[in-house]
Amino acid sequence: MPTTVDVNGRAMNVNSPPDTPLLWVLRDELGLTGTKYGCGVAQCGACTVLADGQPIRACQVPVSAVGAAKITTIEGLGGTHPLQAAWVRLDVPQCGYCQSGQIMSAAALLAANPRPDDAAISAAMDGNICRCGAYQRIRAAIKDAAAAPTPAAPGA
């Protein structure tokens, strides 16, 4: 049964079966492939998107459960978010596969806590695995973005 999901500020019609995880709806049906599959069991964070500003693991949410929540994906940050600028400034990515999820988790963190300390960064980012081990630069880039003049709200 077709349903409608608000993704990046647009109402999108979805025809996937209702038990399909949001991750695969975003990737296979809507073509928003910036959100990645990494584990399918909410252990790695590669599929992190925002639902009404809160980070969720899209692999764990059936599309039928999204309801009226406003979903923001990496594509919805627009490429100009202070975190994305910091990621480029510090050359954070290596293979890059996990970085959409890393940035979405960080975006939710900065929206709630514009000047996070190390403990807050650890709490927000430990759910996002990076096998290349870019952790040091991820942490530095979050601090760099937090120090930037006007951190934008995610999805803004």
Partner 1 sequence: MNKPVANLSAAPTRRQALVVGATLAGSSLLVGCSLPDVLSYGSRVEPGAFGPFLKFDPDGTVTVLSKHIEFGQGNHAGLAAIAAEELDADWTKVKVEQAPANAKLYGNAMMGGTQGTGGSSAISDSWMKMRKAGAAARAMFVQAAAAKWSVPAAEITVENGLVRHAGSGRSLGFGELVADAAKVTPPEAPTLKNPSAFTLVGTDRVRRKDSAAKSNGTARFTQDVRLPDMLTAMVAHPPRFGAKVASFDAAAARKVPGVVDVFQIPSGVAVVASSTWAAKTGRDALKVTWDESKAETRSSATLAQQFRDYAAGKAAAPAKTEWKAFDAKGDAAQAAGGTAAVDVTYDFPYLAHATMEPMNCVAMVGKGPPRLVYGAQGQTLDQINVARAATALPGSVEIETLFAGGSFGRRSNFQSDFVVECVQIAKKVGKGRPVKLVWTREDDMRAGYYRPLVHHAVRVTVDKDGFPATWRHRIVTQSIMKGAPPGAPTAEIDFTAVEGSMGSPYLKATPVVDGQLLTPDAGVPVLWWRSVGATHTAYVMEHTIDQLARKAGKDPVAYRRALYQKAGAKRHLAVLDLAAEKAGWTAPPPAGWTRGVAVHESFGSVVAQVAEVRLENGAPKVGRVVTAIDCGIAISPNQIAAQMEGGTCYGLSAALFGAVTLTDGVVDQVNFDSYRVLRNSEAPTVETYIVPSAAPPSGVGEPGTPVIGPAVANALLAISGQPVLSQPFVKA
Rule CB under 8 A: which of 77-136 touch partner 1?
77, 79, 84, 87-88, 91-100, 103, 121-122, 125-126, 128-136
Tokens 């809160």 locate to 54
Minimum CB separation of residue 128 from partner 1 in Å reads 7
Site string for partner 1, 48-67 (x = CB under 8 A): --------------------
Minimum CB separation of residue 67 from partner 1 in Å reads 19
CB of 50 or CB of 74, closer to partner 1: 74
**Residues near partner 1 (CB under 8 A):** 16-17, 20-21, 24, 27-29, 31-41, 43-44, 46, 73-75, 77, 79, 84, 87-88, 91-100, 103, 121-122, 125-126, 128-139
